[in-house]
Structure 1
């Protein structure tokens, strides 16, 4: 892939100084918010599996057995996809230093399989270091969340001058980012809004900055563009 195939990235803004009262990304409060976010992601499919099992055990609901089995199967797939995605996106797969972009595509697609928007993966087959892998997966999930009414999120990446540039363009009706996500992407503290969306954005900002890279975002009508670079 050449530079001409990658859209111009939003200009990264200077790093925002930590706001007064900002949560330390190394501290227990941040860890608690991150754990709560992951539990929120997992509880929905896990609860659906339990509901399906309850239907199977209910003598009065035997006519719904097929629906119950379908619910269990789809929810189990969603839970497995989220667990595999999270293991890499949030760093549990710490022993691996490099990741195959084709495997990362499968992990990202596992998230998009359970939401309205679709994904276009335009990153060539290559080995990606740990910061790049974590960044691209988190960007993919944030790009999906930017399209609540559906649309297309296109992810591109290119290595140039010792840097790996990642861009994600989310196009669709009512494309938007929550204010707390924008704050997290800038490295700002959560002052209002939901902690779950903020903590992922703050985590992405922290990991990119820790790797020596930069991140930027642009929001326009029916379009959200994310970009970052990290050392290749």
Structure 2
């Protein structure tokens, strides 16, 4: 990937982050304005409760994006699975219409695998527009980390350009804030000699990854 493509990808990821943060941060701003004008104790208590909820959502999203998009310098080469697990559970809780099941075989995952896991989860959650079930599994086998995320529900909303970004067939002109995260994890998988795949059915979306691990990251 050349410098121009790197800049475009970084810009699109920033756009996605800003888009997702606009709603909870805007709610904080509106809540503070209401609090400044409101004098009724009961109404002020309601506003404070809404502010607490918005602050919680904002914090959860920032923690998610730090690990899903950023360098996550506070972590080593391997990350405890409890970290991405907590971040995904927070997103699902905020959604309120999704049940979550886990099948994580190892206590830690390499940082690229964590990024793939988190971004797969975000894609799957976005696809469950009417709620449903989210199944997430990951295990190391034969020198590679295998990840599967399955979203099942009454309606699956999935943009095929995201699928093309995952499998590497996306045209450069289709790189947008919507496809940038999928393109980023495709690059991560390719750099390790692995790959991503997806299958969309009428009531389910399955995302899969095989990520070979460097010798120093195995064990």
Give unpaired runs (5+ residues) of structure 1: 1-21
Following the alignment from structure 1 to structure 2, what is the Cα–Cα distance between the partners of residues 33 and 226?
22
Shift of 1:122: 1.4
Following the alignment from structure 1 to structure 2, what is the Cα–Cα distance between the partners of residues 133 and 112?
17
Could you report, residue by residue, the CA deviation over 1:171-195 in whole angstroms, capped at 9, with x for unpaired residues? 0011131122122212212656x92
* Map of 2:120 onto structure 1: 139
**Kept after mapping to 1: 8 A contact 2:106/2:139:** no
Which of 47, 70, 74 is 2:49 aligned to? Answer: 70
Over aligned residues, Cα RMSD in angstroms? 2.2
Which of 139, 153, 171 is 1:189 aligned to? Answer: 171
Which of 42, 47, 51 is 2:21 aligned to? Answer: 42
Following the alignment from structure 1 to structure 2, what is the Cα–Cα distance between the partners of residues 127 and 60?
50
**Kept after mapping to 1: 8 A contact 2:136/2:149:** yes
**Kept after mapping to 1: 8 A contact 2:189/2:195:** yes
Following the alignment from structure 1 to structure 2, what is the Cα–Cα distance between the partners of residues 148 and 200?
19
DSSP-derived class of the 1:195 partner: coil
* Map of 2:32 onto structure 1: 53
* Map of 1:19 onto structure 2: none
Matched, 1:108 2:106: no
Following the alignment from structure 1 to structure 2, what is the Cα–Cα distance between the partners of residues 82 and 137?
12
Following the alignment from structure 1 to structure 2, what is the Cα–Cα distance between the partners of residues 24 and 180?
23
TM-score under structure 2 length normalisation: 0.87
Structure-2 change in CA distance of 1:179 and 1:24 (3 Å): farther
DSSP-derived class of the 1:221 partner: coil
Which of 202, 205, 208 is 1:221 aligned to? Answer: 202
Kindly indicate which of the two structures has a greater share of residues assigned to helix.
Answer: 2
Greater relative CO (CA pairs within 8 A, separation 6+): 1
Shift of 1:83: 0.9
TM-score under structure 1 length normalisation: 0.83
Shift of 1:96: 2.0
Give unpaired runs (5+ residues) of structure 2: 214-219
Query: 1:124-163 maps to which residues of 2 (within 5 A)?
Result: 124-163=105-144
